[in-house]
């Protein structure tokens, strides 16, 4: 019985994460893609790449922009209306993107 409960819990968690990733991608297409690129690789030289960043880091930064603790004219405006759920979704999307690195 414990094994079935655990498997059910894992499936629910993965389902929620998949929902967050899909919702985050939809939100990013509207609010983030212009500067950070459609796949999290920045299109502007002064915007960071978000693809592959840790979800916790992304969430903390967005919340810091939203509260005004971290200052940036554009990000302050973009992050102000975001809910905690939307921040979690955006963070799930960008952290789900796989990035490869090649040494020079």
As a whole number of angstroms, the distance between CA 3 and CA 13 comes to: 15
In which band, very low, low, confident or very high, does the pLDDT at 9 lie, cut at 50, 70 and 90? very low
As a whole number of angstroms, the distance between CA 87 and CA 59 comes to: 6
Domain of residue 76 covers 20-96
Q: What CATH number has the domain bearing residue 82? A: 1.10.760.10
- Confidence at residue 12, expressed as pLDDT on a 0 to 100 scale: 42
Residue 57 lies in a domain: yes
Residue 44 lies in a domain: yes
CA 92 to chain centre: 5
- Confidence at residue 3, expressed as pLDDT on a 0 to 100 scale: 60
As a whole number of angstroms, the distance between CA 8 and CA 21 comes to: 20
In which band, very low, low, confident or very high, does the pLDDT at 4 lie, cut at 50, 70 and 90? low
Structure tokens belonging to residue 67: 């509260």
Residue 15 lies in a domain: no
- Confidence at residue 1, expressed as pLDDT on a 0 to 100 scale: 55
Residue 26 lies in a domain: yes
- Confidence at residue 17, expressed as pLDDT on a 0 to 100 scale: 54
pLDDT higher than threshold 50 for residue 75? yes
- Confidence at residue 5, expressed as pLDDT on a 0 to 100 scale: 45
As a whole number of angstroms, the distance between CA 88 and CA 55 comes to: 8
Give the predicted TM-score (pTM) of the model. 0.81
Cβ pair 62, 90 in contact under 8 A: yes
pLDDT higher than threshold 60 for residue 13? no
Residue 101 lies in a domain: no
Number of domains in the chain: 1
Residue 102 lies in a domain: no
């Amino acid at each position: 019985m414990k094994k079935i409960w655990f498997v059910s819990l894992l499936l629910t968690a993965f389902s929620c994460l998949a929902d967050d990733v899909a919702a985050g991608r939809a939100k990013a297409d509207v609010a983030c893609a212009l500067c950070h690129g459609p796949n999290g690789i920045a299109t502007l030289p002064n915007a960071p790449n978000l693809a592959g960043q840790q979800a916790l880091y992304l969430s903390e930064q967005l919340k810091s922009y939203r509260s005004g603790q971290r200052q940036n004219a554009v990000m302050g405006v973009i992050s102000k209306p975001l809910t905690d759920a939307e921040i979690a979704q955006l963070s799930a999307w960008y952290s789900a993107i796989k990035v490869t690195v090649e040494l020079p």
